[in-house]
Amino acid sequence: MAEVDLCYYSIAEASRRIEGGYVSPVALTEALFAQIDATDDRLNSYVRLMRESALEEAAAAQQRAESGERLGPLDGIGIGVKDLYDTAGVVTTGGTGVYRERVPATDSTCVRLLREAGAVMLGKTNTHELAYGGTTNNPHYGATHNPWAHDRVPGGSSGGSGAALAAGQALGALGSDTGGSIRIPAAFCGISGHKPTYGLVGRGGIIPLSLTLDHAGPMARTAEDCALMLNVLAGPDPDDLDSAMREPDDYSATLEQGVGQLRLAVIPSLVEGSTDAVLANFESSLDVLRGLGATIDTVEPMTGYSDWRGPLGSILAAEAAAYMRETLEQRPQLIGELVRNRLQFGLDIKAIDYTAALEQRKLVERQFERALGEFDAYVVPTSPLTAEPIEDGERSVQLKFRNTSTFDNTHQPSMSVPNGFDEDGLPTSLMITSALFDDAMALRIAHAYQQVTDFHTRRPNLQPEDPEMPRRGAV
């Protein structure tokens, strides 16, 4: 079996093969590092590898497998860690020059839980600086390139995790989502990503952007893999003051129940403005879901509320600026110009406007939950757009994040799965959002969709189209 085939296993398939003795965790980890070595000079998915400790973790997983003492489905599985998540003894920068030499003493809650489940931490993946943007054009560590088109962004801010998965450099990855930073890279890179219910996954030891909106969650190739990761990641976190302190469900238990008799709602205002390809692939996805037995109707949760989005941006901007205020006052040059300007804007937001935005967010959450009273989930395109050229910087920010940011504000679980390609061969994506703490429903619908489509199995051509294309570290 070619090493590259090992690298494109789903977590579920790799776990079954490890369990059966057909694949060893050491061989799998070595194959992933070989793939990173062969491709990352063109992609820049990783900013820091943890090769030595990863191979030690893989050897321990192999011993457990050989003795019939595996810890679970993630034991021996290679995971990429977004460079916001603390890793004990390993530099964690948040993608900024401010923290270039920051070495945490302990693991973040999510990394600790993954290690306890036997997962292998491969390295730290690139992120948009301080997670404040959607390109992963990082001024300190270089741009990450989209595996499907090397001149395009992978999305952000978890662009390194998205690119690593699409390129076969990891079987699973950690991302974070404040306005869409798990689901936009999932959409642009043709992989799967789940933003859990707010507070379900603990954020202890994660460099924050907006404590009101930050969600930590899994990225992988399939909805099933995201469910397996969520089974490990979900649960109470004393180190996160907004933790739901809720015992997790088994998010893989209902995956096979299908979508027959489910009622799904399209939100027309989150469909309009989509490119022709995004719209065509979305309509095809609806046909697939209907063919599986789902009923689809339309709803507008915010009918009667004008300009309801207007105040919401103040939350992220104000909270991000508050966290970085001391740096902005004393060492602003350590933050790249784009993010520095966004943070400076946040400092100017008045308390009265911030408070009004918090109240507005609660209203939006209530209205979207209420509208789901008649439905099982919302279905809309993940983003109205596909990946923009790296050289364009960040274009059409509001439109790109319009759909995803809606569900950061509602705090509802939201799942992105690939659903086709545009005329340039760039991935498009379907987003499925269910009620608060009903993460299993979004995962179930996504899994049913992936059982009859193959977009999540497609692989990009990782050979450089142009020998003069930008190499690692170029922006």
Q: Note the helical H segments in 375-471.
A: 397-410, 439-451
Active site amino acids: 82, 157, 181
Distance CA 361, CA 198 (A): 13
Q: How many CB atoms lie within 10 A of CB 326?
A: 10
The SS3 call for residue 143 is strand
Q: Is the preceding peptide bond at 383 cis, omega within 30 degrees of 0? A: no
Instruction: Output the CA angle 88-84-188, nearest 5 degrees.
Output: 135
Read off φ and ψ for residue 142, nearest 5 degrees. Answer: 90, 165
Distance CA 37, CA 319 (A): 38
Residue written as token pair 């030690």: 56
First to last CA, the chain: 36
What is the 8-class DSSP label of residue 303?
T
Nearest residue to 223 (alpha-carbon basis) of 434, 397, 10, 469: 10
**Beta carbons of 441 and 377 less than 8 angstroms apart:** yes
Distance CA 470, CA 475 (A): 8
Q: Residue 371 half-sphere exposure, CB side, CA atoms within 13 Å?
A: 23
